[in-house]
A and B are shown apart, each in its own frame.
Chain A
Amino acid sequence: MSASVHGVVPRWIGLSIRLGVCLSICLGLLSACGRTSSDLVVYSARNEQLIKPIFDRYTAQTGRTIKLITDDAGPLIERLAAEGANSPADLLLTVDAGVLWHAAERGLLRPIDSPILNANIPEHLRDPENRWFALSVRARTIVYSTERVQPQDLDTYESLTDEKWRGRLCLRSSKSVYNQSLVAMLIAQHGEEKTEQIVRGWVANLATPEFANDTLLMEAIIAGQCDVGIVNTYYYGRLQADRPELPLKLFWPDQQGAGVHVNVSGAGVTAHAPRADQARALLEWLSRQEAQTMIGAMDKEYPASPAVAPDPMVASWGTFRESPLNVAHAGELQPAAVRLMDRARYR
Chain B
Amino acid sequence: MNAAIQSEGVPSARAQARYRPGFLLAALLCLPALVPLLVILSALVPLLVILSALVPLLVILSALVTPEVEVWSHLSRHVLPHVLVNTAALLAGVAILAGVLGTTLAWLTALCDFPGRRWLEWALVLPLAIPAYVLAFVAIGFLDYAGPLQSWLRATFGSSYWVPAIRSRGGVILILSLALYPYVYLLARSAFLTQGRHVLEAAQILGYGRMRAAWRVALPMARPWIAAGLALVCMETLADFGAVSIFNYDTFTTAIYRAWFGMFSVHAALELGAILLLFVLGALMLDRRSRGGMRFASARDLGQTSRRLKLSGATGWVAAVYASLVTALAFALPVLQLLWWTLKRAASDLDSRYWGFVANTVMLAASAAVVIVGASLALAYLLRRPHGRALDALVRLATLGYAVPGTVLAVGIIVPLVSLNNLLQKGLHAWLGPDSPSILLQGTLLGVLLAYMARFLAVGFNPVESGLQRITQSLDEAGIGMGVTGHALVRRVHMPLLRTSLLSAAILVFVDVMKEMPITLITRPFGWDTLAVRIFEMTAIGEWERAALPAVAIVLVGLIPAAMLTRGGGHVA
- Report if B504 contacts A (CB, 8 A): no
Q: Is the CB of A26 within 8 A of B444?
A: yes
A249 to B30 alpha-carbon distance, docked (Å): 81
Interface residues of B in 509-547 (CB under 8 A from A): 518, 521-522, 524-527, 529, 533, 536-537, 540-544
- Determine the chain A residues whose CB is within 8 A of the CB of B150 once the complex forms: 223
> Distance in Å from the Cβ of A243 to the closest Cβ of chain B?
13
Q: A1-B473, A84-B422, A342-B79 are in contact. Are A12 and B411 (CB under 8 A)?
A: no
Interface residues of B in 24-79 (CB under 8 A from A): 34, 38, 41-42, 45, 71, 74, 78-79
Interface residues of A in 217-255 (CB under 8 A from B): 219-220, 222-223, 225, 235, 238
Q: Is the CB of A72 within 8 A of B34?
A: no
Q: Is the CB of A15 within 8 A of B378?
A: yes
- Determine the chain A residues whose CB is within 8 A of the CB of B422 once the complex forms: 83-84, 86
Q: Is the CB of A69 within 8 A of B526?
A: yes
From A27, A75, A238, A342, give the contact of B518 (CB < 8 A): A75
Contact mask A7-34 → B, CB, 8 Å, 1/0?
1111111011011001100110111011
> Distance in Å from the Cβ of A319 to the closest Cβ of chain B?
25
Interface residues of B in 437-460 (CB under 8 A from A): 437-446, 449
Binds A, one of B212-220, B306-314, B482-490: B482-490
- Determine the chain B residues whose CB is within 8 A of the CB of A67 once the complex forms: 526-527
- Report if A3 contacts B (CB, 8 A): yes
From A23, A99, A334, A343, give the contact of B446 (CB < 8 A): A23
From A12, A50, A75, A347, give the contact of B45 (CB < 8 A): A12
A220 to B151 alpha-carbon distance, docked (Å): 11
- Determine the chain A residues whose CB is within 8 A of the CB of B245 once the complex forms: 173, 175, 212
> Distance in Å from the Cβ of B461 to the closest Cβ of chain A?
15
- Determine the chain B residues whose CB is within 8 A of the CB of A31 once the complex forms: 437, 439
Q: Is the CB of A16 within 8 A of B262?
A: no
- Report if B265 contacts A (CB, 8 A): yes
- Determine the chain A residues whose CB is within 8 A of the CB of B543 once the complex forms: 238
Q: A34-B440, A50-B541 are in contact. Are A7 and B487 (CB under 8 A)?
A: yes
> Distance in Å from the Cβ of B289 to the closest Cβ of chain A?
25
Q: Is the CB of A339 within 8 A of B74?
A: yes
- Determine the chain B residues whose CB is within 8 A of the CB of A339 once the complex forms: 74, 78, 263
- Determine the chain B residues whose CB is within 8 A of the CB of A88 once the complex forms: 438, 440, 443
A32 to B425 alpha-carbon distance, docked (Å): 15
Q: A1-B476, A7-B490, A82-B419 are in contact. Are A338 and B45 (CB under 8 A)?
A: no
Binds A, one of B97-105, B221-229, B247-255, B332-340: B247-255
Q: Is the CB of A19 within 8 A of B45?
A: yes
- Determine the chain B residues whose CB is within 8 A of the CB of A119 once the complex forms: none
Contact mask B358-387 → A, CB, 8 Å, 1/0?
000000000100010010011001001110
Chain B interface mostly: helix
- Determine the chain A residues whose CB is within 8 A of the CB of B437 once the complex forms: 31, 34-36
From B41, B257, B476, give the contact of A12 (CB < 8 A): B41
Q: Is the CB of A75 within 8 A of B522?
A: yes
Interface residues of A in 164-205 (CB under 8 A from B): 173, 175, 177, 180
- Determine the chain B residues whose CB is within 8 A of the CB of A222 once the complex forms: 146
Q: Is the CB of A74 within 8 A of B42?
A: no
A84 to B41 alpha-carbon distance, docked (Å): 34
A223 to B141 alpha-carbon distance, docked (Å): 13
Q: Is the CB of B262 within 8 A of A29?
A: no
Q: Is the CB of A29 within 8 A of B445?
A: yes
From A2, A50, A86, A98, give the contact of B385 (CB < 8 A): A2
A225 to B425 alpha-carbon distance, docked (Å): 58
- Report if B317 contacts A (CB, 8 A): no
Q: Is the CB of A1 within 8 A of B477?
A: yes
- Determine the chain B residues whose CB is within 8 A of the CB of A214 once the complex forms: 542
Q: A7-B485, A7-B487 are in contact. Are A216 and B261 (CB under 8 A)?
A: no
Contact mask A65-101 → B, CB, 8 Å, 1/0?
0011111111110110011101010000000001100
Q: Is the CB of B74 within 8 A of A216?
A: no
- Report if A5 contacts B (CB, 8 A): yes
From A8, A50, A342, give the contact of B381 (CB < 8 A): A8
Q: A47-B537, A175-B248 are in contact. Are A335 and B489 (CB under 8 A)?
A: no
> Distance in Å from the Cβ of A219 to the closest Cβ of chain B?
4
Q: Is the CB of B522 within 8 A of A30?
A: no
> Distance in Å from the Cβ of A39 to the closest Cβ of chain B?
9
- Determine the chain A residues whose CB is within 8 A of the CB of B385 once the complex forms: 2, 5, 8
Q: Is the CB of A30 within 8 A of B441?
A: yes
Q: Is the CB of B146 within 8 A of A219?
A: yes
Interface residues on B, range: 35 or more
From B74, B407, B487, give the contact of A342 (CB < 8 A): B74
Q: A47-B537, A79-B418, A180-B262 are in contact. Are A212 and B246 (CB under 8 A)?
A: yes
- Determine the chain B residues whose CB is within 8 A of the CB of A7 once the complex forms: 476, 485-490
| Chain A: interface residue total (CB-CB under 8 A) | 83
Q: A16-B41, A47-B540 are in contact. Are A208 and B145 (CB under 8 A)?
A: yes
Q: Which of B74, B438, B488 has the most CB of A within 10 A?
A: B438
A69 to B522 alpha-carbon distance, docked (Å): 8
From A13, A23, A212, A343, give the contact of B78 (CB < 8 A): A343
The closest CB in chain B to the CB of A25 belongs to B445
A219 to B522 alpha-carbon distance, docked (Å): 33
- Report if B113 contacts A (CB, 8 A): no
- Report if A213 contacts B (CB, 8 A): yes
A344 to B168 alpha-carbon distance, docked (Å): 20
Q: Is the CB of A223 within 8 A of B407?
A: no
Q: Is the CB of A335 within 8 A of B263?
A: yes
Q: Is the CB of B261 within 8 A of A12?
A: no
Q: Is the CB of B526 within 8 A of A79?
A: no
- Report if A211 contacts B (CB, 8 A): yes
A209 to B374 alpha-carbon distance, docked (Å): 46
- Report if B258 contacts A (CB, 8 A): yes
A219 to B142 alpha-carbon distance, docked (Å): 12
- Determine the chain A residues whose CB is within 8 A of the CB of B45 once the complex forms: 12, 15-16, 19
Q: Is the CB of A13 within 8 A of B34?
A: yes
- Report if B421 contacts A (CB, 8 A): yes
> Distance in Å from the Cβ of A233 to the closest Cβ of chain B?
13
From B378, B440, B485, give the contact of A33 (CB < 8 A): B440
The closest CB in chain A to the CB of B539 belongs to A213
- Determine the chain A residues whose CB is within 8 A of the CB of B487 once the complex forms: 7, 10-11
A322 to B280 alpha-carbon distance, docked (Å): 48
> Distance in Å from the Cβ of A105 to the closest Cβ of chain B?
8
- Report if B122 contacts A (CB, 8 A): no
The closest CB in chain B to the CB of A27 belongs to B446
- Determine the chain B residues whose CB is within 8 A of the CB of A49 once the complex forms: 537
- Report if B264 contacts A (CB, 8 A): yes
**CB<8 Å pairs between A and B, sample of 16:** A7-B486, A7-B489, A9-B42, A11-B381, A13-B38, A16-B42, A35-B438, A47-B541, A71-B521, A73-B261, A75-B414, A98-B264, A175-B258, A214-B542, A223-B151, A335-B263
Q: Mark A residues whose CB is within 8 Å of B.
A: 1-13, 15-16, 18-19, 22-23, 26-27, 29-31, 33-36, 41, 47-50, 67-76, 78-79, 82-84, 86, 88, 98-99, 102, 173, 175, 177, 180, 208-216, 219-220, 222-223, 225, 235, 238, 299, 331, 334-335, 337-339, 342-343, 347
Q: Mark B residues whose CB is within 8 Å of A.
A: 34, 38, 41-42, 45, 71, 74, 78-79, 140, 144-146, 150-151, 165, 167-168, 245-248, 250, 254, 257-258, 260-266, 367, 371, 374, 377-378, 381, 384-386, 407, 410-411, 414-415, 418-419, 421-422, 425, 437-446, 449, 473, 476-477, 479-480, 485-490, 518, 521-522, 524-527, 529, 533, 536-537, 540-544
* 5 further contact pairs, Cβ within 8 A, besides A102-B264, A222-B146, A338-B258: A1-B476, A47-B541, A75-B521, A82-B415, A83-B442
Sorted nearest first, the 6 A-B pairs with minimum C-beta distance are A26-B446, A223-B146, A338-B262, A4-B476, A219-B146, A82-B418
